[in-house]
Structure 1
Amino acid sequence: SVPSAPTGLSLNNIDNEAVNLSWLDNSGNETGFTIQRKAPSDESWTDIAQIAADSTSYQDTTVSAGNDYDYQVSAYNDAGASNSSSVSINLPTLLAYGAQVYQDQGCANCHGNDGKGGFTNVPLTQYSNDTFDQLLNVNTTTMPLGQPDACVGNCAYSVSRYITDVLAITDAGGQDPQACAGEPPASSRSLRLLTRFEYQNTVNDLLGLSVNLIHELPDENRVDGYDNNVAANQVTGIRLEAFLNKAEALASEATTANYGQLVPCATEDNACATQFIQTFGLRAYRRPLTTDEVNQYLANFAQDAFRDAVQQTVMGMLMSPNFLYRSELGELQADGTYQLTAYEIASSLSYLFWGSMPDDKLFQSAAADALNTPVERAIEAHRLLEDSRSHEQVGNFVGQWLLSSSPYALPEKDSDVYPAYTNDVREALSQELVSFFTHVALDNAGHYRDLFTSNYVLANQTLANYYGLSGASGHQFSVINVPDGSRSGLLTLGAVLARHANSNESHPSKRGRFFFERILCHDLPEPANMGIVEAPTVDPNATTRERFAFHSETAESCYSCHQYIDGPGFSFENYDGAGQFRSQENNTTIDASGVLRGLETYTPSEEQNFTDLQSLGQIVADSPNASQCIAK
């Protein structure tokens, strides 16, 4: 009899270069199966294979990307052929498949949908046809992170083509990205909302006040720990109300307390009003006002008493987008690009190094168009860094870099586990973080290496007692040498150790991820497609390292990322969850040795061994990648 027809015919796209068909064999008397295919250009079905009886699958390797295919499978014997089972597939084009791979393999998680690299990762848009082979080798041998075997062959080729032929071209505005070879990539034009820290500093410098209002303004939306992301921070209804309340109060306070400083003349006539608007407006808008803007504010003086008009003008300028936002729009050039104005450069420098508006010297340099060359900007940068205001700004930066928050926002701890971790200690730990970084970077003219190898701390008596050190007295922070190596740079700062831990224990994975992402600038994607991971039964006598080792020893789904972070994480184990040094845990000598993978190349095969956190710091101090990371 004629064999029964196969059913349940299905197919899978195999890396966009083969199609795998599978079916249910419903007959025990077939001689074999006939596989037929029809492409859009075919007028009839074509036999592409006859395969043996009892088969339930077939792989067609003669397909081409970007085509549609219909398939039929029938069983046959000497009595005839069964009815056919049919199925169809559309194979995406090379670039469409590359776009699919880019998302499915998690490339976008680190490099962004546009390939520009996000905050810290390598921008893929730098690649082109000239560097395609280099990109293909990177993707084939190292990506996706931790699972380089997951995307090879046509998978790696397609996503590489998508990067060079779509992402890079799009980023270059439709032009060959190599047309700009040798030139630094252009930044996006933007209006950057002042942060609370910048707003407070700016109004104090502008109005001659000393107000503390950071906690009276809405919190920023932090991105990757930083508070100045352009896209995430705009004037919302809540912010608008807060800014309006502050503008009214600040204008009233300033005109009452500092009227003589604000108004440069005493005649209270139209000429004086114009002079006030121009001089105060220059500092408020951080650029000269246009004629229309001057006339707009002059209307206040035609309606109100002079002093009242001054107050209304101050309030109006404090509410203006020209005050609340820092302009990075630039001016259109003959070649179609935009270049920052001298006043925008002045603001970029002052907010970078001071977190506030330009001073008179910067305004003078901008007016003289004397900030155009690297040498001119470097001279100003050195001057700004020599000013004490740079210390607070550097402290603000280091808190966001190392703690993803203000340096003065350390977490609370379980007082039953860490009774010595008091509020006074938390305050001292925060101050140490700022003092150490500014001491190395500014006061001591230190080298990048010193951040990771210095065998001293800056501590007051409270912190010295907490660390078990002697040599400090009172509230003053001073340098205390630590020759035993228990403190050696910023990785051993108590604030860093306490921030990246739990409330009642250390946490190697949190600390390892902090190290890998913040110190090396290697971002890890969020875990995906892990399924259910069951944590092992906790042995109360085990060390923290023994409990966390299951990531790499038994949990294969965890290993792709934890092979990078757990090794460095274990190096921190000589420090408990509150940052105090320890040599034993549960009566067991702590093992802080490990393997650092992917330091320079982000590949798991690149390995460096270390014995403890001090030796890991030495590796980081010698690393070109880590030194570039801090500059990012």
Structure 2
Amino acid sequence: MAKLSPTLVAAATLALTSACYTGVANFDTPAKDTAGIADSDPGADSGGGDAGGGGDDGAGDSAGDDHGEPFAPDPGQIRLLSAEEFTNTVQDLLGVKVEAELSYSDRASGYDNSNNAQIDENLLSILYVEAERVAEVYIAERLAADFTCYAPGPALTPACAEAIIDGLGRRAYRRPLTAAERQTLLDFTAAATASEEAADADEIVEALLVRVLMSPHFLYRTEIGAPTADDPSVAELTPFERASVISYALTGSMPDAALFAAAEADELDDETTRAHIRRLLAGPRGRAQVVRFFKQWLRVDELDAMAAHPEDYPKFGAPGVAVGLQGEFAAFVEGVVLDEDATFDELLTRELTFVNKHTAPLYGGAVEDDALQPLDLTGDGRGGVLTLASVMAVHASSSEVARDKPIRRGLLIKNQFQCEEIGLPSGIDVATAAENVLDQVDDFNALTTREQFELIMNQDDLCMTCHKQFMPFGFLWSNFDGLGQFQTHFGDRPLDAAVDELTLDDEVQSFANIMELIPVLADSPQATACFSTNVARFATGRRESSTAEALTAEFAAPLRDGELTVVELFEEILASPELYLREAPSQ
């Protein structure tokens, strides 16, 4: 196909040089100037880790509040599609796979669908080039089948232009086009057809598709809503916004035909909303999205990079080990959380995993097949998600099999189960502390990992003050090496996993090892509240959220008591009316 002519390129990018993109911050800053966006003319395609200061981020304190008390809804927001959401939405809209390597998503909320993601000129250029490529492939492979009116030729007929705009526009914008938007796109195709350069039909459709794919109405999700009759300061999301919240939370993509039809018919009441949530959760994409949540919650998504670049992680030895561990984690989530409908307690205690010939040796066994097989761990001194080799291998040394990593394992508990973040204190001279230790010990490398860290920590009061907040949690895993294999000695030195004076739920306790902590963690009000908060963060894309606090207050206790399973928690959060309320834009 011929490339777009300069005239058509200029026309197609007219929207991109409007206020939405020349003043990027005015459009993609979450919850900013939503009143102006809501009131603008929609037809012009314009208008509108482990950082922290230390302490509780607020998630653990909300359990126990009475549901039904008034709360301040989250502000309205305009969210840039994440890289994953963009890829999936293009695939579902046009049936064309995105090939550009996109990695712009922000993890401020802890998840890659954070509402903090921003767009800049470099990303805009990458997306534009990819939109051109996607449009070319779609025209060559699918357009004629999707729209029988279409035939390559010197011009695009007005009737066929209308069919394409009506067919793709509403799905691309995830809502019906306004009359102004529809007319703008019709005028665009008419102008392209009448241009002096006499573009052919393929070029006209390509320019149209690029314009749609680069429109803010495609690239962004709006969550603004309309003021409610009972309280004008509170807005309720429109049916189409509601459908997008459900769909992107549970599939990472645009609403499917059934959900879109329900929104179009204004049928997304509480009962129908719940039915669609259950339907999507039960489907393959919903299951994959739940796995995606767990991978990001426990940071096991880092295995993806390890499996893709095994040369950078020599501890794995054979490439099949990292791939096998990827499969183990996904199989555990699907088998235990989804198929067995596990409670939070069962998530942390279920004595089951899935192994193949590459990973069975990590558990002291052997199988002959590449296919994953269930392995009963009863009596093996393991149980639940925290003793999976896949989890422990991520939170360990990247190079040495024999070395665990108490910093990462300790922070896993502190951050992901207590919702507390530890900031690096100022004034610490780590290099000097390490040098002092080397001067004191003849063979530092012969020491266990715990012994090494304890020596370094003791060189500086600030080091001790910081590390004692989380490092003891990591020491509990001392009997598991960098691949999650059980060990009793490092060389000839015995390993010590016991920890005294560990604070959990404001109570000081002692534990012999990680297996003693796990049942206490499973019954911890702070841990269940933190988990509920993380599910709410994943659903909302927000780290700080009054909605998440309200939902945590409602569901943490029944989750802890086993009255709600993990999957039911996803359902209840997404079915909650609070999730679809926003602070109304000021007039």
TM-score by length of 2: 0.71
CA distance in 2, matches of 1:206, 1:423: 35
> Per the alignment, do residues 355 and 527 of structure 1 end up closer, same or farther by CA in structure 2, a change over 3 Å counting?
same
Question: Could you say if the C-alpha distance between residues 424 and 518 of structure 1 is closer, same or farther in structure 2, counting changes exceeding 3 Å?
Answer: same
Instruction: Give me the whole-angstrom Cα distance separating, in 1, the residues matched to 2:94 and 2:304.
Output: 26
Amino acid at match of 2:167: T
Residues 1:281 and 2:169 are matched in the alignment: yes
1:251 matched to 2:135? The reply is: yes
Correspondence for 1:109: 53
Distance 1:123 1:332 in 2: 31
- The residue correspondences of 1:190-339 to structure 2 (distance < 5 A) are 190-209=77-96, 211=97, 213=99, 216-223=101-108, 225-231=110-116, 233-263=117-147, 269-302=157-190, 303-304=192-193, 305-333=200-228, 335-339=232-236
Report the secondary structure of 1:449's partner residue: helix
Which of 433, 442, 445 is the matching residue for 1:534?
433
Indicate if the aligned counterparts of 1:592 and 1:612 stay in contact, CA closer than 8 A.
Answer: yes
Q: 408, 421, 424: which one pairs with 1:510?
A: 408
Please name the residue that 2:495 is paired with. Answer: 590
Q: Secondary structure at the match of 1:458?
A: strand
392-401 or 546-555: bigger deviation: 546-555
**Partner Cα distance (2:309, 2:83) in 1:** 27
- Compared CA separation, residues 246 and 565, structure 1 to 2 (3 A): same
Task: Work out whether residues 284 and 317 of structure 1, in 8 Å CA contact, stay in contact via their aligned partners in 2.
Answer: yes
**CA 1:563 to 1:406, structure 2 compared with 1: closer, same or farther past 3 Å?**
closer
**Offset of residue 595 of structure 1:** 3.8
The answer to whether the 8 A contact 1:408-1:430 is kept is yes
Hey, what's the Cα distance between the residues in 2 that align with 1:507 and 1:349? Answer: 38
Contact 1:218 1:242 in 2 (8 A): no
Partner SS state of residue 564, structure 1: coil
Q: Residue in 1 aligned with 2:513?
A: 612
3-state DSSP of counterpart to 1:403 = coil
Q: Per-residue deviation at 1:355?
A: 0.7
Partner of 1:188: 75
Contact between 1:399 and 1:407, CA under 8 Å: does it hold in 2?
no
1:350 touches 1:356 (CA, 8 Å); kept in 2?
yes
Q: Pick the aligned partner of 1:561 from 466, 472, 483.
A: 466
2:304 equivalent to 1:408:
yes
Who is 2:338 aligned against? Answer: 442
Say whether 1:457 aligns with 2:362. no
Contact residue 342 and residue 372 of structure 1 kept, 8 A:
no
1:435-489 per-residue CA deviation (whole Å, 9 max, x = no partner) reads 212222222212221221111111222111343223x442222211122334312
Which has more strand, going by share of residues? 1
Gaps of 5+ in 2: 1-50, 194-199, 534-587
Partners of 1:123 and 1:251 in 2: CA distance:
47
Counterpart amino acid of 1:237? Answer: E
Tell me the distance in 2 between the aligned counterparts of 1:415 and 1:333. Answer: 57
Change (3 A) 1:421 1:628: farther
Residue-by-residue CA offset, 1:514-561 (whole Å, 9 max, x unaligned): 221112212223223446762423444432222222467664323333
Tell me, yes or no, if structure 1 residue 357 matches structure 2 residue 254.
yes
Residue 192 of structure 1 aligns to a residue whose secondary structure is strand
The answer to whether residue 483 in structure 2 is matched with residue 578 in structure 1 is yes
Find the counterpart in structure 1 of residue 451 from structure 2.
Answer: 546
Query: Contact (CA 8 Å) 1:429, 1:495: kept in 2 or not?
Result: yes
What is the alpha-carbon root mean square deviation over aligned residues? Answer: 3.2
What is the Cα deviation at residue 413 of structure 1?
Answer: 11
Secondary structure of the corresponding residue to residue 352 of structure 1: helix
Query: Following TM superposition, by how much is the alpha carbon of 1:432 offset from its aligned partner in structure 2, in angstroms?
Result: 1.5
Displacement of 1:264: 6.5
Q: Percent of aligned positions with the same letter in both sequences?
A: 31
Q: Determine the structure 2 residue equivalent to 1:101.
A: none
| C-alpha contact 2:60 2:419 (8 A) present in aligned 1 | no
Distance in 2, Cα, partners of 1:596 & 1:207: 58
Q: Does 1:483 align with 2:378?
A: yes
Q: Which amino acid aligns with 2:433?
A: E
| C-alpha separation in 2, matches of 1:330 and 1:631 | 25
- C-alpha contact 1:410 1:430 (8 A) present in aligned 2: no
Q: Which amino acid aligns with 2:413?
A: F
Amino acid at match of 1:205: D
Shift of 1:378: 2.2
In 1, the alpha carbon distance for the partners of 2:150 and 2:121 equals 39
Q: Residue type of the partner of 2:129?
A: N
* d(CA) in 2 for partners of 1:415, 1:238: 30
Matches within 5 A, 1:126-137: none
- Indicate how the Cα distance of structure 1 residues 406 and 511 shifts in structure 2: closer, same or farther if over 3 A, else same: closer
CA distance in 2, matches of 1:587, 1:229: 47
Deviations 1:20-69 (A, max 9, x none): xxxxxxxxxxxxxxxxxxxxxxxxxxxxxxxxxxxxxxxxxxxxxxxxxx
Query: Any conservation in 2 of the 1:226–1:404 contact (CA below 8 Å)?
Result: no
Higher RCO (Cα < 8 Å, 6 or more apart): 2
1:442/1:404 Cα in 2 relative to 1: closer, same or farther (>3 Å)? closer
1:387 — aligned with what?
283
Note the alpha carbon deviations across 1:580-614, whole angstroms, 9 max, x for none: 2212113233221224633224xxxx212222212
- Count of residue pairs brought into register by the alignment: 458
Task: Indicate if the aligned counterparts of 1:425 and 1:466 stay in contact, CA closer than 8 A.
Answer: no
| Greater C-alpha radius of gyration | 1
What is the alpha-carbon distance in structure 2 between the residues aligned to residue 364 and residue 416 of structure 1? 48
- When normalised by structure 1's length, the TM-score is 0.66
8 Å CA contact retained: 2:356, 2:368? yes
Q: What stretches of structure 1 of length at least 5 have no aligned partner? A: 1-106, 112-116, 127-133, 135-177
Distance 1:490 1:573 in 2: 17
CA contact (8 A) 2:81 2:113 kept: yes
Counterpart residue number, 1:397: 293
2 CA distance for matches of 1:369 and 1:519? 39
Cα distance between partner residues in 1 of 2:223 and 2:342: 32
1:7-30 per-residue CA deviation (whole Å, 9 max, x = no partner) reads xxxxxxxxxxxxxxxxxxxxxxxx
Counterpart Cα distance in 1 of 2:168 and 2:311: 52
Contact (CA 8 Å) 1:459, 1:478: kept in 2 or not? yes
**313-322 or 429-438, larger mean C-alpha shift:** 429-438
Indicate the larger mover: 622-631 or 262-271: 262-271
- Partner Cα distance (2:337, 2:377) in 1: 20
Instruction: For 1:517 and 1:315, locate their aligned partners in 2 and report how far apart those are by CA, in whole Å.
Output: 42
Please tell me the residue identity of whatever aligns with 1:109: G
| Contact in 2 for aligned 1:413/1:421 (Cα 8 Å) | no
SS at match of 2:217: helix
Q: Once the two structures are superposed, what CA deviation does each residue of 1:301-327 show, in whole Å capped at 9, x if it has no partner?
A: 323355543333222111111111111
SS at match of 2:317: coil
Q: Matches of 2:448 and 2:150 in 1, distance apart?
A: 75
Deviations 1:73-118 (A, max 9, x none): xxxxxxxxxxxxxxxxxxxxxxxxxxxxxxxxxx98258xxxxx8x
- CA distance in 2 between counterparts of 1:421 and 1:184 reads 53
